[in-house]
Amino acid sequence: MKYDDASWHYEGNYPKDLPPENAATAIGMFLAWCIYNNLISDDLKEDTEDDIEKVLQGKMTGAQFLIMDCDEKFIDDDLSELGQHFANDYYEEDSNFAKKVANYHVDYCNVFNEKAEKNGFKYESIYHIEDTKENYDLISVIISERFTHWKENYMPKQ
């Protein structure tokens, strides 16, 4: 299953003043969180070992990893079984978790709209959010909170 694809964004209603790489920022931040939290598949680990290490060392962003190693696509095969369950419930919009608790895309917009408001500006679009460690750190806190809540209340029983 394909969760997301940068081309879906830059081939659609996308700001003409931005490079297509910006379409990978939000996807890449979620994927980086999965890398940091060891929720990626063994195949992805084997195939991209050097670049995973770069992400872990802060030498490559999740968006760069998505573009260079995943052909701009975020798919279920990139994730471990636990990672797939979490992405199915949090990254997707139609799950009970997304409807009752939160969904990644809404959290992403809320985090960065709040950041912009605190700093006296407004992002023109979600694609204008910078692909930085500082921004990753902001959203990663929320993803971690959602993951903890999901594990305690929504994770499928084995």
Residue 75 lies in a domain: yes
**Other CB atoms within 10 Å distance of the CB of residue 11:** 11
Provide the residue-wise pLDDT of the chain in tens; the chain has 158 residues.
999 999 999 998 899 999 999 999 999 999 999 999 999 999 999 999 999 999 999 999 999 999 999 999 999 999 999 999 999 999 999 999 999 999 999 999 999 999 999 999 999 999 999 999 999 999 999 999 999 999 999 999 87
Cα–Cα distances (Å) from 17 to 5, 14, 59, 109, 124, in that order, read 20, 9, 26, 20, 11
Beta bridge partners of 40: 79
Per the listing, tokens 């890398």 go with 35
Nearest to 54 by CA among 63, 43, 65: 65
Per the listing, tokens 């975020």 go with 74
Per the listing, tokens 């700093």 go with 119
For the chain, what is the domain count? 1
Residue 16 lies in a domain: yes
Residue 158 lies in a domain: no
Which domain does 38 fall in, by range?
Answer: 2-153
